[in-house]
Amino acid sequence: MVAALISKENDCRSCYKCIRNCPTKAISFSDGQARIENDECIYCGRCYEVCPQSCKIIRDETSAVSRLLKSGPVYASIAPSYLAAYPGTSFEKMREALIKLGFADAEETAIGATIVKKEYDRLAKEMKMDVIISTCCHSINLLVEKYYPELVGCLAPVLSPMQAHALDLKRRHPGAKVVFVGPCISKKDEIDQYPGYDENVLTFLELSKMFEEEGIEVESDPNPKSAEESLARLFPTEGGILATMAKENKDYVYLSFSGKQEVLPALENIRSGKVHRAFIELSSCPGSCVNGPAMPKGNKELVNALISIKRSAGKKDFKVDEYRQNDISKQFLGESFNLPEPSEEEIHKVLRQIGKERKEDELNCSCCGYPTCRDKAIAVIRGKASLEMCLPYLSKKASSFASYVIDNSPNGIIVVSDDLSISMANAAFCLFTHHEASSIVGHSLDEIMDPTLFALALSGEPTRGKHIELAQYGLFVEATVTYDPQYKIIVGIFRDRTAQHNEHEQYVANARKTAEITSDVIEKNMRAVQEIAQLLGESAANTKIALTNLSKTIAPEEKDGK
């Protein structure tokens, strides 16, 4: 079965907000991805609320409920916090919208809350339990079962209002199915753990999606009908459970706490054994259910919602049937993880790996999501965190690495602010320009070099690999100058190309000289050839004349011989 809340892959930005806000640190982080550890999760929904990338996904039951609506009569059980999700409406208008959606009818979960609070009063009156912790909030129940198993005996063994209402609905409407609608994610896990009551759970977010798909609007109601018998509508407000109880037993102290900042210290205090004769209302959400995680964010008007809920609540209880204790009892089991505690040596080894050599090095800044460096080290040992999650360590490491690279770079590097004043110059640049860094930082760039390329970069024309001369320093360099608009700095990188430039110039001079010599040799050779050709030409001409004369001399003699 898909968990009530899961993590979406590949969108995590390593902000660790989910870990920071998770009351049980039920999130592991590896390979750049935060993942919910469902065995450890109490489904309070804090990670869902705070994740800036919406990486946490609530299990969507809209399709399943749509199919359920076609299968027979389905009743909606609406949490009283609907007034926070749909400001300005009333239960009558909500009921009309739900019937349009396909529900046979709708009732307020506050009816189930009335059954529950009566049982709470009975438990307090009997005084068989020293400390009683309310069990309406499934996240609180999971928190106690998983992390405070020794306090399971303090949990009031009573169904939640959601379950009690489903039980009551099915008794009055045999064969009916029930869907709870509310602001809680944990209720989805509750029906998984305790089947047989509600068939399904919709969050107000899912209900709004279904309304939108069907073109149904929840109408406002400027004059909602008041109901005297509706005291349990106060349940979703902080202290609302106590406000509905008779509290006849004055030997008990009745207290209310909400949100992890209050709930965790309260449970620690109870575990210490110093708390006695107390009925304690606990809610995982700050301000209780009216501030639940699955509320439409655009409609979340907490103050107006509280005013509406308190005004809608009457002075008397809903009329409900009487139930035997066994019918509405609930069993809780301690499910402690019993994770092995690492040794001090293991913890200190991890702390040393992130530069925490001494106690004062442990900043406990919570950037990693854990309250202390020690807690983070334990998470690393358990495979739920990585060393790189420590921001001061990572920052120091990155800074050290960057400084090492810059300081040891053979290239001259200079950083200039957008007003062209020098912010930083590395050793190579200072060597190139024969300056000390302390003597030029803070000064204007034009005091040591032509700022033209930096001005061009600032205007959006970066320079990349351009060969220029720094005549005042006798250098020829390959310059790259770029502007970073985010940090408003101009970075200049200069690679010394003087030796190569000089070699090239020498090569060009040698080539020119060689060309001149070659030209001279060719010219002389050509002259020699021409002279030889002239001599050969004169000789050939004389030979021709001689031979012609010889021919003429011989020819007559041949005639005479005839």
Instruction: Tell me the CATH number at 491.
Output: 3.30.450.20
Q: Which domain holds residue 214?
A: 60-318
More confident site: 540 or 187: 187
**DSSP percent split of the chain into helix, strand, coil, nearest 5:** 50, 15, 35
DSSP SS3 for 194: coil
Asked whether residue 248 is domain-assigned, the answer is: yes
Higher pLDDT, 395 or 232: 232
For the chain, the residue count is 562
Burial class (CB in 10 A: 0-12, 13-18, 19+), 501: middle
Q: Are residues 258 and 311 in the same domain?
A: yes
**Alpha helix (H) ranges present in 156-284?**
161-172, 186-193, 204-214, 240-244, 260-271
Residues 225, 287, single domain; the answer is yes
Which comes out higher in pLDDT, residue 340 or 208?
208
Q: What's residue 552's pLDDT?
A: 65
Q: Distance between CA atoms of 74 and 198, rounded to whole angstroms?
A: 10
**What band does 130 get if pLDDT is binned at 50, 70 and 90?**
very high
Q: State the pLDDT confidence band at 227, using cuts at 50, 70 and 90.
A: confident
Do 313 and 345 reside in the same domain of the chain?
no
Does a structural domain hold residue 200? yes
pLDDT in tens, 349-358: 999 998 888 8
User: What DSSP letter does each residue of 64-129 carry, written as one string?
Assistant: HHHHHHTSS-EEEEE-TTHHHHSTT--HHHHHHHHHHHT-SEEEETHHHHHHHHHHHHHHHHHT--
Q: Is residue 311 part of a domain?
A: yes
**Span 420-449, mean pLDDT?**
93
Same domain, 149 and 203: yes
Establish if 400 belongs to a structural domain: no
Q: Can you tell me the mean pLDDT for 122-138?
A: 96
Same-domain pairing of 354 and 441: no
pLDDT (mean) for 31-37: 92
Rounded to 5°, angle at Cα 280 from 192 and 27: 45
Task: Sort 211 into a burial class: Cβ within 10 Å, 0-12 / 13-18 / 19+.
Answer: middle
Same domain, 176 and 28: no
Lowest mean pLDDT, pick from 82-86, 141-145, 511-515: 511-515
Q: What CA–CA distance (Å, rounded) separates 125 from 249? A: 5
Are 315 and 231 a contacting pair, CB within 8 Å? yes
Q: Is the pLDDT of residue 551 over 70?
A: no
The pLDDT assigned to 383 comes to 92
Q: How far apart are CA 561 and CA 264, in angstroms?
A: 151
pLDDT of 32 > 60? The answer is yes
The 3-state DSSP class for residue 319 equals coil
Number of neighbours of residue 524 by Cβ within 10 angstroms: 10
Task: Identify the pLDDT of residue 154.
Answer: 97
Using 50, 70 and 90 to split pLDDT, how confident is the model at 562?
very low
Q: Are residues 54 and 74 in the same domain?
A: no
Whether 561 has a pLDDT exceeding 60, the answer reads no
User: Which pLDDT value is given to residue 218?
Assistant: 95
Residue 205 and residue 187 in contact, taking contact as beta carbons nearer than 8 Å: no
Among 275, 290, 318, the domain boundary falls at: 318
| CATH assignment of the domain containing 364 | 1.10.15
3-state SS, one letter per residue, for 212-245? HHHCCCCCCCCCCCCCCECHHHHCCCCCHHHHHC
**Mean pLDDT within 376-405:** 84
Q: Is residue 210 part of a domain?
A: yes
Domain limit, last residue, from 443, 477, 496: 496
Q: Are residues 102 and 167 in the same domain?
A: yes
Tokens of 253: 């102290």
Q: Which amino acid, one-letter code, is at 245?
A: M
pLDDT at 560: 47
- Residue 556: pLDDT over 80: no
pLDDT (tens digit per residue) in 282-331? 999 999 999 999 998 766 678 988 999 999 999 999 999 999 999 999 99
On the question of pLDDT at 89 being above 80, the answer is: yes
The one-letter code for the residue type at 58 is I
On whether residue 169 sits in a domain, the answer given is yes
Write down which residue in 496, 511, 530 finishes a domain. 496
In terms of DSSP H, where are the helices of 423-497? 427-433, 437-440, 452-458
* Average pLDDT for 48-52: 94
What mean pLDDT is predicted for residues 427-441? 92
Same-domain status, 306 and 168: yes
Q: Which of 342, 340, 365, 343 is nearest to 354 (CA)?
A: 365
- Our measurement of the distance from residue 205's CA atom to the centroid of its chain's CA atoms, rounded to an integer in Å, reads 22
C-alpha radius of gyration, the chain, whole number: 44
Strand partners, 492: 414, 481
In a domain, 135, yes or no: yes
Report which DSSP code applies to 290.
G
Dihedrals phi, psi of 467, to nearest 5 degrees: -85, 120
Cα 93 from Cα 86, distance rounded (Å)? 10
Domain shared by 67 and 163, yes or no: yes
Tens digits of residue pLDDT in 163-176: 999 999 999 999 99
| Average pLDDT of the chain to the nearest whole number | 91
Considering Cα of 236, then 238, then 244, then 248, what sign does the dihedral take?
positive
Return the pLDDT at 558.
47
* pLDDT score at 505: 82
Question: What was the pLDDT predicted at 446?
Answer: 94
**pLDDT single digits (tens) 485-544:** 988 999 999 999 999 988 888 888 888 888 888 888 888 888 887 888 777 777 767 776
Residue pointed to by tokens 């809903």: 318
Verify that 54 and 68 share a domain, yes or no. Answer: no
Rounded to whole angstroms, the Cα distance separating 407 from 430 reads 11
Check which CATH number belongs to the domain holding 31 and give it: 3.30.70.20
- In-domain check, residue 99: yes
Identify the CA nearest to 26 among candidates 41, 16, 12, 8: 41
Dist. CA 471–CA 462, nearest whole Å: 22
> d(Cα 290, Cα 183) in Å, to the nearest integer?
8
CA-wise closest residue to 453 among 482, 487, 485, 421: 482
Instruction: Over range 416-420, report the average pLDDT.
Output: 93
The number of folded domains in the chain is: 4
Q: What is the average per-residue pLDDT within 458-463? A: 94
Q: How confident is the model at residue 121 (pLDDT cuts 50, 70, 90)?
A: very high
Cα gap 23→282, rounded to integer Å: 14
Residues 19 and 133 in one domain: no
The pLDDT value recorded for residue 82 is: 95
Beta bridge partners of 243: none
pLDDT confidence of residue 550:
67
